[in-house]
Amino acid sequence: MEHALVIGLSLALVLGIVAHKLKLSPLVGYLVAGILAAQPWWGEPVDSHIVEGFSHLGVILLLFGVGLQFHLKDLLAVQKVAVPGALICMAVSTGMGALVFHTFGGTPDWVSSLMFGLCICVSSTVVLTRVLSDSKLLQTPTGHTALGWLVVEDIFTILMLVLLPVIISGKELGPAISSAAIKLTLLVLCVAFVGRKIIKRVLTYVSRSASGELFTLAVLVFALGFAVLAAEGFDASMEFGAFLSGMVVGQSKFAARAASDALPMKDAFAVLFFVSVGMGFDIGGMLEHWQLTLCTCLVAFFIKPLAAFIVITLLGKPLRMALKTAGALSQIGEFSFILATLIASQYHMLPEYAANVITGVAIITITLNAALYRFIPMLANHLEKKEIGRKPKVKGSVPEPSNDKHRIIVVGYGPCGKIMTDILTKYNLEVVVLEMNIDTVNKLENKGIPVLHGDARRRSILRMAGAEQAKAIIITAAAAPSHDIAESAKEVNPNIVVMAHTTYISTAQLLRRQGAETVFSGEEEVALGMASHTLRTLGATEEQVTRERYENRRRLAGDYAKDIPSGV
C-alpha cells in the first residue's frame, strides 16, 4: 500500500506542478501520473486495487463536496438558461455519442451505445470551475450560468448513480423504480430531518469544545457514515448518500468551516481517484480504437459546446456569454470516469476498451480546454467588432446631438459616473450615459437623463449614443474593458477624446500608449494624495507639493504627461 501511495502521490505532485506551470489543469498531471505509475519501471508492481480503494473514498468525498456547494438558489437564478440548455445539450451529446459508439465501437448493441453516450454528456466540475476562476469569470453572469448548468449536470449524474442499479437489476422496471423511489424518499427524509439534528448538535459540540482535527474527523465520519447508510440501509449508491450529507452540512452555519478545514482531505483522496483512472489507462488500446477516440473527441470538444452555444444564443443571451459558457463546457472529466467505470466494471454494459477510450478523450479535452480557453475573449472581441451575432436589444432614448452643446458620453453610472454626470450636466454639457445594469437604466430614464442600455464596446451602440459627433467619452468604471471601448470609439470618431479610469498604474500606462488622451489611475491618485498630505504635514510649501505632484505625474505617464499644467 505504501508503495502505491508514494509513487502515485509523488508523481501527481510533480506533474501537477508541471501542468500548472504550463497553464493546464492539474487533472492532466494527475492522470499522466497514474499512467506512469502503472509502468513496470518501479521494480515492484503498483497495486492498482489498493489505489482504487482509496480512490473510491475520493469519489465519495468528491460528491460530498458537490453537495456542500450545492445551492438551489444558484440554479433558480439562471434556470431559464441553465435548465433547458443543459438538458438539450446533454440529449444532443448522448445521441451523438451513442451514434459514434454504434458506428465505431465494434458492437451493434444500442444499449451499450446509449450508456457510452450518457458517459460523455457531462462536463468536469473541477475543470470548469478552475477555467472560470483563472479567467476571473466565476462571479460574473457567465460564471453563474455555467455553474447553474453544472448543477443540472450534477443532478443528472446523481440520478444516474441512483437509477443504474434499478435499471440493470433485470427486475420489472415499474415496480423496481417505485420501490427505489420509496427507499430514496425515506433516505432523503432520514438525512434531512434526523441527520440534520444529529449533524448540527455534534458539529456544534465539537466546534465549541474540541480541537480542529476532531472537527475535520467529524465531517469525514458524517460523509462516509451517510454513504454507508445509503448503500446498506436503502440500497442506494454510497455517492448519493455522501451528496445528501454534504447538502445538509452545506445548509448549516458550519458550511464555510467544513469547506475550508475539512475538505482539503477530499482533494488528497480525489487526486488518488484521478491517479487510479490514469493507472487503468492503456494508450495502446486507445490508439487501436482511434476512430472511436477521434469521433468522441469531436463530440465532446466541438458538438457539445456548439449545441450549448446555439441554445444560449437562441435563448436571447449575448454572444460573449454564449461563447464563454460553451467553451468552458468543451471537455469531459471526473463524472464521465465514474459513470464509465461503474457501467463497464460493475454492470458490464460497456466493454473495458470503451472506458479506456473515455479516459483518453478526457485527457485530450481537458488539455485542449485549458490551453485554448484563453483565446475565447479574443474571438468574442473580434466578432463583436465585426457586428457578428445577435443585435443588441437597446433600451433607453437619446436625443439627436445638439448644435449648441458639446456631447459627452459617460460609460458606467457607478459613484464615479454619477459625480461626472452631475457636474457635466451642471455646466450645460449634453451627457449621454451608457450602462449595462437595466435597473440603473430604468432609474435614469425616470429622472430624464439620456441613457442607453448596451455594451460600449459595440460600435452600433456608440453610434446610437452619438459618438460620431461627441467631443469625449469618459470611461468611469475601473473594471470596464477600457482598451476595447477606446478602440471602438476611435474607429467611430477618430477625433473623440478618450478619458479612462483604471485601478493600476501599469494599465494606465498601457492605455496611454494605445491612444487614450487622459487616464486616471487609482493607485497613482491615492499615492500622490497621500504623499501631498504627508509633505504638507511636515511643513512643505504648496509650491513644493505641486512640483512633486507634477514631476511624479510626468515620471509615471512618460511623454504623455507633457501637456499637464504646473498647477495640477
Average predicted confidence (pLDDT) for the chain: 79
Q: What is the pLDDT of residues 218-249, one digit of tens each?
A: 887 888 888 888 778 777 667 777 777 777 77
CB-based contacts of 422-428 (< 8 A; 24+ apart in sequence): 425/449
Cβ(397)–Cβ(464) under 8 Å?
Answer: no
User: What's the pLDDT band for 296 if we cut at 50, 70, 90?
Assistant: very high
**Residue 299 or residue 338, greater confidence:** 299
Residue among 466, 417, 467, 461 at smallest CA distance from 440: 417
Q: Return the percentage of the chain with pLDDT > 70, whole number.
A: 83
What does the pLDDT read at residue 309? 92
Q: How many CA atoms lie within 13 A of 419 on its CB side?
A: 5
C-alpha to C-alpha distance for 65 and 270, rounded to whole angstroms: 11
What does the pLDDT read at residue 218? 82
Angle separating helix axes 264-279 and 2-21, nearest 10 degrees? 100
Cβ(509)–Cβ(556) under 8 Å?
Answer: yes
| Cβ-Cβ contacts under 8 Å for 312 (sequence gap 6 or more) | 81, 85, 145, 321, 322, 325, 326
Q: Which three cell numbers stand for residue 369?
A: 480546454
What does the pLDDT read at residue 138? 66
Q: Is the per-residue pLDDT at 385 higher than 60?
A: yes
What does the pLDDT read at residue 172? 61
User: What's the pLDDT band for 95 if we cut at 50, 70, 90?
Assistant: very high
C-alpha to C-alpha distance for 392 and 19, rounded to whole angstroms: 39
The amino acid at 197:
K
Q: Is the per-residue pLDDT at 561 higher than 50?
A: no
What does the pLDDT read at residue 386? 67
Q: What is the pLDDT of residues 328-376, one digit of tens each?
A: 999 997 778 778 877 887 778 888 889 889 988 988 998 888 788 888 8
User: What's the pLDDT band for 378 if we cut at 50, 70, 90?
Assistant: confident
The phi and psi torsions of 280 (rounded to 5 degrees) equal -85, 0
Cα-Cα-Cα-Cα dihedral sign, residues 377, 381, 386, 387: positive
Q: Which three cell numbers stand for residue 525?
A: 491618485
What does the pLDDT read at residue 548? 83
**Residue 184 or residue 331, greater confidence:** 331
Taking the CB of residue 501, how many other CB atoms lie within 10 A of it?
Answer: 25
Angle 59-61-63 from CA coordinates, rounded to 5° = 70
Q: In order of start, what are the domains of the chain with their CATH numbers?
A: 2-383 (1.20.1530.20), 407-561 (3.40.50.720)
Bridge-partner residues for 411, per DSSP? 434, 475
Q: What is the pLDDT of residues 395-407, one digit of tens each?
A: 556 777 766 678 8
Q: What is the mean pLDDT of residues 247-262?
A: 71
The phi and psi torsions of 475 (rounded to 5 degrees) equal -95, 105
Q: Which three cell numbers stand for residue 1?
A: 500500500
DSSP string, 66-128: HHHT--HHHHHHTHHHHHHHHHHHHHHHHHHHHHHHHHHSS---HHHHHHHHHHTSS--HHHH
The phi and psi torsions of 493 (rounded to 5 degrees) equal -145, 100
Q: How many CA atoms lie within 13 A of 377 on its CB side?
A: 10
Cβ(524)–Cβ(543) under 8 Å?
Answer: no
Taking the CB of residue 192, how many other CB atoms lie within 10 A of it?
Answer: 14
The amino acid at 22:
L
C-alpha to C-alpha distance for 66 and 245, rounded to whole angstroms: 10
C-alpha to C-alpha distance for 69 and 168, rounded to whole angstroms: 30
C-alpha to C-alpha distance for 170 and 121, rounded to whole angstroms: 25
C-alpha to C-alpha distance for 374 and 388, rounded to whole angstroms: 20
What does the pLDDT read at residue 82? 85
What does the pLDDT read at residue 293? 93
